[in-house]
Amino acid sequence: MTCSQCQGLDTLFDKRTAAKELKNYRKKGPSKTTRWLIDALKAEGIVGATLLDIGGGIGAIQHELLKAGASGAINVDAASAYIEAAQEEAHREGLADRVRYHHGDFVQLAAAAGEADIVTLDRTICCYHDMAALVGHSTSLTRNLYGLVYPRDTWWVKFGLVMINFVSWLQREPYRFFAHPNQAVDALIRRQGLVPRFYRKTLLWQVAIYGRDNKREKQP
């Protein structure tokens, strides 16, 4: 990978981190916001659909949607430890033959990843410096549903990220985290012909699903 941000994330999200998250997933299932995203996608109808999971981590979205009837998945992640953990769980669940894996910078790998019925970015936008490129490439590959979990751009979220990034700077780490302007994210998604279908938020995070038709937005 030529992207220093992605190289930094590959180091940050190491085998220890991936193993801990995989253990928690096996014990408790997906985290709250990930579960909201998964349940909302399932409510839209995912049987027979293909999934492109960008920054898929230990693969919670892939595993849950494949078990619910999705036909196949593509996992793109900058962290090799996450790829290995996702593969381990896919083998354990008997799903290994239905997932393809790409390690690296999604923006550079978008053409190789290809289109999918569903595209998801769970806490991925906040890890990438070029929001426009990430959202632009990922929405262009979306045939039907586009789901994401990303930070709210409130003052308290921005302040927290400033503190986190300051520590990273002191430690000479190359990665940074971002609360990209929410209106800009929404505008880029809508520009690709996707319209809101679901929205829910916590103090820090927001979960949104967009679709390629004009169905009325669903509320939880």
Angle of CA points 117, 118, 123, to nearest 5°: 160
pLDDT tens for each residue of 140-167: 999 999 999 999 999 999 999 999 999 9
Question: Residue 198: what pLDDT?
Answer: 97
Contact 119, 141 (CB under 8 A): yes
Which amino acid does the sequence have at 22? L
Q: List the 72-77 sheet strands across, edge first.
A: 99-103, 72-77, 50-54, 116-122, 142-151, 205-211, 195-201
Residues in contact with 13: Cβ distance below 8 Å, sequence separation at least 6, in sequence order: 57, 79, 81, 82
Q: Give residue 5's pLDDT.
A: 86
**pLDDT score, position 214:** 52
Structure-block tokens of residue 50? 């293909």
Q: What residues contact 71, with CB distance under 8 A and at least 6 apart? A: 48, 49, 50, 98
Contact 119, 145 (CB under 8 A): yes
CATH 3.40.50.150 fits 4-211, yes or no: yes
Q: Write out residues in the chain with pLDDT < 70, as ranges.
A: 1-2, 214-220
Rounded-to-integer distance, Cα 17 and Cα 6, Å? 16
Q: Which residues lie closer than 8 Å to 76 by C-beta, 6 or more apart? A: 52, 53, 54, 55, 56, 101, 102, 103, 104, 106, 109, 113
pLDDT at 220: 42
Confidence (pLDDT) at 146:
98
